[in-house]
Amino acid sequence: MPIMDGLEATARLRKKGVNSPIIALTAYALAGDMEKVLEKGMDDYIAKPMKKELLVQKLLRWLDPSD
């Protein structure tokens, strides 16, 4: 992102009390990357190239069926 990265955006959202699920979509797929984004306040992680089935699985996991 041109102004801030996803980790900074997540930190700002969490600081403001936003509790909506945040799923990282990143080109980084190295060992420890998933743990890094989870530690920074994101709820889940998808590495590129993204598979449609995985995206659907992650969204279903975090969507509230009562909404």
Span 24-61, pLDDT tens digits: 998 877 778 888 889 999 999 998 899 999 999 999 99
The identity of residue 22, as a single letter, is I
CATH number at residue 17: 3.40.50.2300
Query: Would residue 26 count as lying in a domain?
Result: yes
Query: Would residue 47 count as lying in a domain?
Result: yes
Contact 65, 33 (CB under 8 A): no
Q: What is the pLDDT of residue 64?
A: 75
CA 17 to chain centre: 16
Query: Would residue 67 count as lying in a domain?
Result: no
Query: Would residue 49 count as lying in a domain?
Result: yes
Q: What is the pLDDT of residue 27?
A: 82
